[in-house]
């Protein structure tokens, strides 16, 4: 019988406006021992000879007994698929919503941000590879039930809870159970993701999600195969479904020198967004810094991001931003009709907000979630 455990809440480590929380634990979620203590995964099918097939993401992993899925978070134990990172927190912070980044979703708010372990992709340029490319037992984690997590989010005062840092989809069961409780407590919910998820679980997740940020990592299948292990068409499908669901959507593209930063590819990406998602979905171009397996490349020149923003706006997108670079124009939301400043930002912080309930001073409405 699992003993009752109380983990001591430790002092918040403050970095800017971000505070780190460790959660109190009432019942252990053990990664070892009896399979009865694991959480059985959703969206899988048992096969002959105790094999299982997972249908959570497009990898559709077919696993022999004892094997982990590509994501390193799901395992076949005795002919059943278990999620090994359920209730195991690898990273937990209170961040500005602009850091996710969301620029048209409750600007100036804080987000209670949760990360577990694992990822359905294998991006060579991952910024959080220490947890996203790790097995749960390879990372120091702390346990928390969905209810405990939501209680701590409420105590933090943040109006939003988000799954982020690693790929949220690989903690699908934990995330969706947390979101259900969070909605009942009046919290908003957000997903910060690569978008690599199968259609059925995506549609289920969207029922409990208020905002979804997708990394559209490139507009090239070659790039996806070479540097991520995923497929472009699956991400494009995800984007269309999110847009149709009316959940608030923002897109980020990390521009990597020589890999996905050509003017032709940027123009094609922006044109696809306009034709399939409309002109009002915010698109963020972010600056790459050498990381993980792409340490041989230089940082993205700021001029590349500024040029990408110009190209996307030429293609008709109305809200295009630059990130990880000092560029006041690329951090500002403008009223499309008048050109007036709607929201001015410096880094992750708002310096001026001229909107009233999402409307510019001249009455022009800007798409987003403002209250």
Question: 275-314: per-residue pLDDT in tens?
Answer: 999 999 999 999 999 999 999 999 999 999 999 999 999 9
Are the CB atoms for 158 and 112 separated by under 8 Å? yes
> Taking 70 as the threshold, does the pLDDT of residue 13 lie above it?
no
Are the CB atoms for 143 and 29 separated by under 8 Å? yes
> Taking 80 as the threshold, does the pLDDT of residue 8 lie above it?
no
Structure token digits, residue 223:
């790039």
Structure token digits, residue 44:
């899988």
Question: 309-356: per-residue pLDDT in tens?
Answer: 999 999 999 999 999 999 999 999 999 999 999 999 998 999 999 999
The rounded distance, in Å, linking the Cα atoms of 193 and 238 is 11
The closest of 209, 201, 230, 177 to 44, measured between CA atoms, is 201
Are the CB atoms for 61 and 69 separated by under 8 Å? yes
The rounded distance, in Å, linking the Cα atoms of 32 and 74 is 14
> Taking 80 as the threshold, does the pLDDT of residue 174 lie above it?
yes
Structure token digits, residue 157:
């005062």
The closest of 207, 2, 175 to 87, measured between CA atoms, is 175
Are the CB atoms for 355 and 344 separated by under 8 Å? no
Beta-sheet strand order (sheet of 283-287): 91-96, 110-115, 160-163, 188-193, 211-215, 248-255, 283-287, 320-323
The rounded distance, in Å, linking the Cα atoms of 58 and 220 is 17
> Taking 60 as the threshold, does the pLDDT of residue 28 lie above it?
no
In whole angstroms, how far apart are CA 73 and each of 78, 139, 172? 16, 12, 10
> Taking 60 as the threshold, does the pLDDT of residue 33 lie above it?
no
Beta bridge partners of 89: 142
The rounded distance, in Å, linking the Cα atoms of 155 and 235 is 35
Which pLDDT band, with edges at 50, 70 and 90, does 206 fall under?
very high
* pLDDT given for residue 38 in this prediction: 80
* pLDDT given for residue 37 in this prediction: 54
Mean pLDDT of 208-227: 98
Measured at the CA of 160, the angle between CA 216 and CA 291, to 5 degrees, comes to 40
């Amino acid at each position: 019988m699992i003993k009752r455990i109380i983990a001591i809440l430790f002092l918040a480590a403050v970095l800017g406006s971000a505070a780190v929380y460790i959660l109190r634990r009432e019942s252990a979620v053990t990664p070892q021992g009896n399979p009865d203590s694991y959480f059985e995964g959703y969206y899988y099918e048992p096969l002959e000879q105790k094999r299982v097939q997972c249908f959570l993401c497009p990898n559709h992993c077919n696993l022999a007994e004892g094997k982990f899925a590509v994501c390193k978070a799901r395992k076949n134990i005795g002919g059943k698929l278990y999620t090994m990172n359920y209730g195991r927190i690898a990273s937990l912070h209170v961040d500005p919503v602009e850091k996710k980044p969301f620029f048209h979703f409750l600007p100036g708010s804080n987000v209670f941000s949760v990360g577990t372990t694992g990822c359905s992709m294998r991006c060579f340029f991952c910024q959080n590879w220490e947890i996203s490319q790790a097995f749960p037992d390879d990372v120091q984690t702390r346990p928390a039930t969905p209810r405990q997590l939501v209680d701590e989010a409420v105590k933090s005062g943040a109006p939003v809870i988000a799954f982020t840092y690693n790929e949220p989809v690989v903690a699908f069961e934990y995330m969706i159970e947390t979101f259900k409780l969070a909605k009942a407590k009046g919290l908003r919910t957000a997903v910060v993701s690569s978008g690599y998820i199968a259609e059925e679980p995506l549609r289920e997740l969207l029922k409990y999600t208020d905002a979804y940020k997708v990394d559209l990592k490139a507009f090239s299948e070659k790039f996806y195969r070479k540097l991520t292990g995923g497929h472009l068409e699956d991400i494009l499908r995800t984007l269309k479904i999110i847009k149709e669901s009316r959940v608030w959507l923002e897109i980020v593209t990390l521009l990597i020198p020589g890999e996905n930063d050509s003017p032709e590819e940027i123009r094609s990406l922006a044109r696809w967004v306009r034709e399939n998602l409309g002109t009002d979905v915010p698109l963020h171009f972010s600056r790459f810094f050498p990381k993980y397996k792409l340490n041989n490349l230089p940082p993205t020149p700021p001029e590349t991001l500024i040029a990408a923003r110009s190209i996307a706006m030429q293609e008709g997108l109305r809200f295009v931003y630059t990130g990880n670079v000092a560029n006041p124009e690329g951090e500002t939301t403008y009223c499309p009709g008048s050109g007036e400043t709607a929201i001015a930002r410096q880094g992750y912080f708002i310096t001026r907000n001229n909107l009233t309930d999402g409307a510019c001073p001249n009455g022009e409405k800007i798409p987003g979630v403002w209250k």
